[in-house]
Amino acid sequence: MRPDGREFDQLRPISFQSGIAPNATGSVLVSFGNTRVICAATVQEDVPRWMKYQKVGGGWLTAEYNMLPYSTLDRKQRDISTGRLDGRSSEIQRLIGRSLRAVVDLKKLGPRTIWLDCDVLQADGGTRTASVTGGCVAIAIALNKLMADGKIKTFPMKKLITGISAGIYQDTAILDLDYPEDKDASVDFNVVMTEDLEFVEMQGSGEEAVFTDEQMAAMLSLARKGVKEITALQKQAILDADQASLTDLKSLADSFKRP
């Protein structure tokens, strides 16, 4: 039995609340159980200096990841207080950026940059995979707004991506580890996949343990199951945000018609 009573192949409750950061071009609060991350995509009408110098066409997408001090049981010191980004945060934000660039056609984005900020409000395992998953939704919402504003003519996102964890806990392969499971798991595996179940990135390691081909196959099978379920939720969240945006535009248009 898992600590929270879930079945071995059962996801935590997952939700997306769009528009959580109104000043961003697209944003969601993504929740995987008690793990909650604000993912906000902001579009800047410029490209990095290195792209200009190297005369690289198209745009750019980059990510930043941060765990807020109160996101964990013991207060986490802010990176700014130490004067440097800690190694874990640096590695995670590279993962997020790499993953999303794999499914966004930067040429179609045009000469602009998408900044994706992932701020962890509450950490209960799987913050990196939640950031990838929520980040994908936030960027899709932002790209829909660019399309609606006529700034781009072709939707740049080729496919949705999802991040999910799997692991070996008490000799059993399980899906979507929370913190107690992650802490005691003998194997921890993070997988990023497209909606077509293509691999974007895999990060797996034994925690002072080894794992077999059969165990790896079991974890990947669980990951595929999770991705299928989460992709459906992502698509609905993007659709709901797009419909809400259309409703807001209609309300604004109606206000101009009033005497």
Instruction: State the Cα–Cα distance between residues 100 and 93, nearest whole angstrom.
Output: 11
State residue 120's pLDDT score: 97
126 marked among binding-site residues: yes
pLDDT at 247 over 60: no
State residue 248's pLDDT score: 52
Q: Give, as one character, the DSSP assignment of residue 70.
A: G
Average pLDDT, the chain: 91
What band does 251 get if pLDDT is binned at 50, 70 and 90?
Answer: very low
Amino acid at 172: T
Q: CA 177 from chain center: how many Å? A: 16
82 marked among binding-site residues: no
Q: How many residues does the chain have?
A: 259
Residue of higher predicted confidence among 249 and 120: 120
State residue 207's pLDDT score: 82
Over the stretch 2-13, which tens digit does the pLDDT of each residue have? Answer: 999 999 999 999
What band does 149 get if pLDDT is binned at 50, 70 and 90?
Answer: very high
> Is the pTM of the predicted complex or chain greater than 0.95?
no
State residue 70's pLDDT score: 87
Over the stretch 198-214, which tens digit does the pLDDT of each residue have? Answer: 999 999 999 889 999 99
State residue 89's pLDDT score: 87
Domains along the chain? 14-208+218-257 (3.30.230.70)
State residue 74's pLDDT score: 83
Strands 26-32 and 35-44, bridge-based pairing: antiparallel
Q: Which helix (H) or strand (E) holds 61?
A: strand 60-67
128 marked among binding-site residues: yes
- The overall longest dimension of the chain from CA atoms, in Å, is 73
Q: Which helix (H) or strand (E) holds 248?
A: helix 213-257
Query: Which percentage of the chain shows pLDDT scores above 70?
Result: 92
Over the stretch 41-82, which tens digit does the pLDDT of each residue have? Answer: 999 999 999 999 999 999 999 999 999 888 988 888 777 767
Which alpha helices (H) appear in 149-212, and where do they start and end?
179-184
2 marked among binding-site residues: no
What band does 253 get if pLDDT is binned at 50, 70 and 90?
Answer: very low
Q: Which of 83-92, 150-159, 249-258 is predicted with the least confidence, judged by mean pLDDT?
A: 249-258
